[in-house]
Amino acid sequence: MKAILQKVPVSPDSSFAVQEFRSSYFDVPWHFHPEYELVLVIKSEGKRFVGDHIANFAPGDLVLLGSNLPHWYRNDAAYYQNDPNLEAVSIVVQFTRGFIGDAFLQSPEAQKIRQLFDRAAMGLEIGGEARDRVSSMMKEFHSLEGMNKLLQLLTILNHLASSGECSALSHQQLTKLNIEDSKRINKIYEYVMQHFTEPISTEDVSNQVNMCSAAFCRYFKKRTQKTFITFLNEIRVGHACRLLANHDLHITEICYKSGYNNVSHFNRQFKALKNMTPQAFRKHHFNNF
């Protein structure tokens, strides 16, 4: 699904862009651009949308996004309450496929980097030692200039290309949208993110975009490759996963805080998406920390 086209600023003395975003919250909507993008979250939490993939993000989250892959980082509700103690910070590196020249990219030595770019078409989440090393190198960009800065990016890409710690995110290419459709999808997403802990019906959402319920359901499925109910459950279960990391909250309380009004239904939806019960997920989480 194409979203709002974003123009990436590149300095005339550089072949790629490195920016640090620092604000109360990440304010860029569902969007895309032809440049590849390496995103490191320094501060804040929320939900990350990449193509048809939805997941929680937190400090240390590192993702490589392919060309024209729609994405959106939406902070948790607390970040929109003007709390001076909360801040959203990220380092973003953006570059074209041929930022160092097409001849270089076609060289035998660049084969693994070409393969990395191909794999990034649906987004790659970077974990383990690769995440730690690349994150440290990204934080060094501000002190580098000229050739040293270029070599740093090539070293990062070479490390990622040789790593086995990059996992695919989105599963399929989404339907392309025009600008009006993109605005409509953004409005739907924003409404859900503001109200998913409350009862939501398809009528509630369809009214936001001036459609009847049946037409809205067909529209949403065609453009996102999933039903609205599936999308809503993904948001709610993702929120529940974060709450399960808190020992003080009972499963029943987490159920209601995630927008469900029936524990049995919550358990079924959670298991359908995570292949384990909420209790098993909590146990797995704490056994790995």
What dihedral angle (degrees, nearest 10) is formed by the CA atoms of 160, 163, 169, 174?
A: 60
Which one of 135, 168, 201 terminates a domain?
Answer: 168
pLDDT in tens, 64-98: 999 888 889 999 999 999 999 999 999 999 999 99
- Indicate if 148 and 213 belong to the same structural domain: no
Q: What's the confidence (pLDDT) of residue 173?
A: 60
- Indicate if 137 and 255 belong to the same structural domain: no
Give yes or no for residue 269 having a pLDDT over 90.
yes
- Indicate if 27 and 162 belong to the same structural domain: yes
Q: What six digits make up the tokens of 98? A: 């041929």
User: Is 174 within a domain?
Assistant: no
User: Is 173 within a domain?
Assistant: no
Q: What's the confidence (pLDDT) of residue 195?
A: 94
Q: What's the confidence (pLDDT) of residue 2?
A: 35
pLDDT in tens, 49-61: 998 899 999 999 9
Q: Are 227 and 217 in contact (CB under 8 A)?
A: yes
pLDDT in tens, 219-244: 999 888 889 999 999 999 999 998 99
- Residue 286's pLDDT band, with cuts at 50, 70 and 90, is confident
- Indicate if 157 and 22 belong to the same structural domain: yes
Q: Are 43 and 69 in contact (CB under 8 A)?
A: no
Q: Are 208 and 187 in contact (CB under 8 A)?
A: yes
User: Greater confidence, 174 or 206?
Assistant: 206
When divided into structural domains, the chain yields a total of 2
Within 13 A of 190's CA, how many CA atoms are on the CB side? Answer: 13
- Indicate if 164 and 60 belong to the same structural domain: yes
User: Is 86 within a domain?
Assistant: yes
User: Is 239 within a domain?
Assistant: yes
- Indicate if 49 and 85 belong to the same structural domain: yes
Residue 241's Cβ-count burial label (10 Å; 0-12, 13-18, 19+) is: buried
CA distance 266 to 276: 12
Q: Are 258 and 222 in contact (CB under 8 A)?
A: no
- Indicate if 117 and 187 belong to the same structural domain: no
Q: What's the confidence (pLDDT) of residue 5?
A: 45
Q: What's the confidence (pLDDT) of residue 94?
A: 95
Angle of helix 228-243 versus helix 213-224 axis, rounded to 10: 70
pLDDT in tens, 133-188: 999 999 999 999 999 999 999 999 999 999 999 999 987 666 556 677 778 888 99
Q: Are 155 and 168 in contact (CB under 8 A)?
A: no
- Indicate if 184 and 227 belong to the same structural domain: yes
User: Is 15 within a domain?
Assistant: yes
Which one of 116, 146, 168 terminates a domain?
Answer: 168
- Indicate if 193 and 99 belong to the same structural domain: no
- Indicate if 143 and 33 belong to the same structural domain: yes
Residues in a beta bridge with 5: 32
- Indicate if 32 and 159 belong to the same structural domain: yes
- Residue 260's pLDDT band, with cuts at 50, 70 and 90, is very high
Q: What six digits make up the tokens of 127? A: 């974990």
CATH of the domain at 272: 1.10.10.60
Within 13 A of 28's CA, how many CA atoms are on the CB side? Answer: 21
Average pLDDT, the chain: 90
User: Greater confidence, 13 or 167?
Assistant: 167
- Indicate if 164 and 212 belong to the same structural domain: no
Range of the domain at 34: 4-168
